[in-house]
A = this chain, B = another copy of it.
Amino acid sequence: MRSPSPVARIIVALLAFGLTAAPPAGLAAGQPSPAAYGRDALLASGPVRTFEGRSLNEVAFPLGGIGTGTVSLGGRGNLRDWEIFNRPGKGVHMPFTFFSMYVEQSGTKLVRVLEGPIEPPFTTGFGFRRVFVPGLPRMEKARFKGEYPFAEVELSDGQVPLEVILEAFNPLVPLEPDDSGIPAFVLRFRVKNTGAAPAKVTIAGSVLNPVGYDGEGQVDGVGNDKFGQNVNEVKRTATLRGLAMSSRKVKPEAPAFGTMALTTPWPDVTTLTHWVRGDWWDDLQIFWDDFAADGRLQDLDEVSPSPDKRTDVGTLGLMATVAPGQEVVLPFILSWHFPNVLNYFDIVPEQRGRVFKNHYAERYPDAWAAAEYLQANLGRLEAASRAFHAAFFSTTLPPYVLDAVSSQASIIRTTTGLWLEGGKYFGFEGCGDQGGCCPLNCAHVWNYAQSLAFLFPTLERTMRETDFLNNVKPDGAMVFRTSLPIGSGVFWNFKPAADGQMGRVISLYRDWQISGDTAWLQKLWPQAKKALDYAWTSWDADRDGLMEGEQHNTYDIEFYGPNSMMGAFYLGALRAGALMAAALADWPAARTYKALYDKGCQNYDRTLWNGEYYVQKYGQVMEKKYQYGEGCLSDMLLGQWLGMVSGLGRYLPAERVQSSLRSIFKNNFLTDFRNFSNVQRTYALNDEKGLLLCSWPRGGRPPLPFPYSDEVWTGIEYQVASHLIYEGLVEEGLSVVKAVRDRYDGLRRNPWNEVECGHHYARAMSSWGVLTALTGQAYSGPEKRMGFDPKIRPDNFRTVWTAGSGWGTYRQAFEDHDSGYAGGATLEVAAGELALKEFVLVLPPDAHGVKIRRIAAKVGAEATKITYRWEGRTIRVQWPAAVTVKPGQPLAVDLSF
Q: Show the binding face of A for B, using Cβ within 8 Å.
A: 57-58, 90, 111, 117-118, 120-128, 130, 133-138, 140, 159, 278-282, 284-286, 288-289, 292, 430-433, 437, 625-626, 673-683, 685-686, 703-704, 707, 710-711, 747-750, 753, 755-759
Contact = CB atoms under 8 A, between A and B. Distances in A.
Contacts of A288: 677, 679
Q: Most chain-B CB neighbours within 10 Å: which of A280, A676, A755, A756? A: A280
Contacts of A135: 673, 676-682, 685, 710
B674 A137 contact: yes
5 contacts: A57-B121, A123-B753, A126-B432, A126-B681, A292-B677
B123 A750 contact: yes
A753 B127 CA distance: 12
B707 A128 contact: no
B285 A124 contact: no
A679 B284 contact: yes
A38 to B, nearest CB: 24
Given A58-B120, A285-B679, 9 more contacts: A117-B674, A121-B747, A125-B755, A136-B677, A140-B674, A279-B625, A280-B704, A280-B707, A282-B625
Main secondary structure of the interface of A (DSSP, over half): loop
Given A120-B748, A685-B134, A755 B675 contact: no
A355 B750 CA distance: 46
A679 B206 CA distance: 14
A133 B674 CA distance: 13
A311 to B, nearest CB: 18
Contacts of A707: 280-281
Contacts of A673: 135, 137
B679 A430 contact: no
Contact of A281 (B120, B130, B680, B759): B680
A508 to B, nearest CB: 31
A298 B239 CA distance: 75
A286 B703 CA distance: 8
A132 to B, nearest CB: 8
A437 B126 CA distance: 10
Q: Most chain-B CB neighbours within 10 Å: which of A133, A703, A704, A711? A: A704
B431 A677 contact: no
Contacts of A753: 123
Contacts of A756: 126-127
A678 B136 contact: yes
A433 B125 CA distance: 7
Contacts of A285: 679, 703-704
A759 B126 CA distance: 7
Given A137-B677, A292-B677, A683 B127 contact: yes
Contacts of A626: 280
A90 B681 contact: no
Q: Most chain-B CB neighbours within 10 Å: which of A626, A674, A748, A758? A: A674
A58 B123 contact: yes
A791 to B, nearest CB: 31
Contact of A755 (B127, B432, B679): B127
Contacts of A682: 122, 127-128, 130, 134-135
B123 A677 contact: no
Nearest to A135: B678
Contacts of A284: 679
Nearest to A747: B120
Contact of A125 (B58, B431, B675): B431
Contact of A126 (B117, B134, B678, B758): B758
Nearest to A626: B280
B122 A748 contact: yes
A287 to B, nearest CB: 8
A747 B53 CA distance: 14
A262 B686 CA distance: 29
A711 B707 CA distance: 51
Given A676-B137, A707-B280, A685 B758 contact: no
A755 B125 CA distance: 6
Contacts of A750: 123
Contacts of A678: 135-136
A125 to B, nearest CB: 5
A750 B123 CA distance: 7
Contacts of A749: 120-123
A284 B128 CA distance: 37
A124 B755 contact: yes
A749 B124 CA distance: 8
Nearest to A138: B674
A433 to B, nearest CB: 6
Contacts of A286: 703-704
Given A120-B748, A749-B121, A749-B122, A681 B57 contact: no
Nearest to A157: B674
Contacts of A437: 125
A127 B711 contact: yes
Contacts of A130: 680-682
B704 A282 contact: yes
Contact of A58 (B121, B430, B677): B121
Nearest to A705: B285
Contact of A675 (B117, B159, B683, B710): B159
Contacts of A138: 674
A749 B58 CA distance: 18
B758 A122 contact: no
Contact of A289 (B90, B137, B676, B703): B703
A829 to B, nearest CB: 40
Given A286-B703, A674-B137, A675-B159, A127 B681 contact: yes
Q: Most chain-B CB neighbours within 10 Å: which of A432, A683, A758? A: A683
Contacts of A137: 673-677
Contacts of A432: 125-126
Given A140-B674, A159-B675, A679-B285, A125 B430 contact: yes
A125 B124 CA distance: 22
Contact of A136 (B120, B121, B433, B679): B679
Q: Most chain-B CB neighbours within 10 Å: which of A125, A704, A747, A753? A: A125
A814 to B, nearest CB: 44
A416 to B, nearest CB: 11
A118 B685 contact: yes
Nearest to A113: B677
A626 B117 CA distance: 29
A351 B682 CA distance: 46
A435 to B, nearest CB: 10
A475 to B, nearest CB: 28
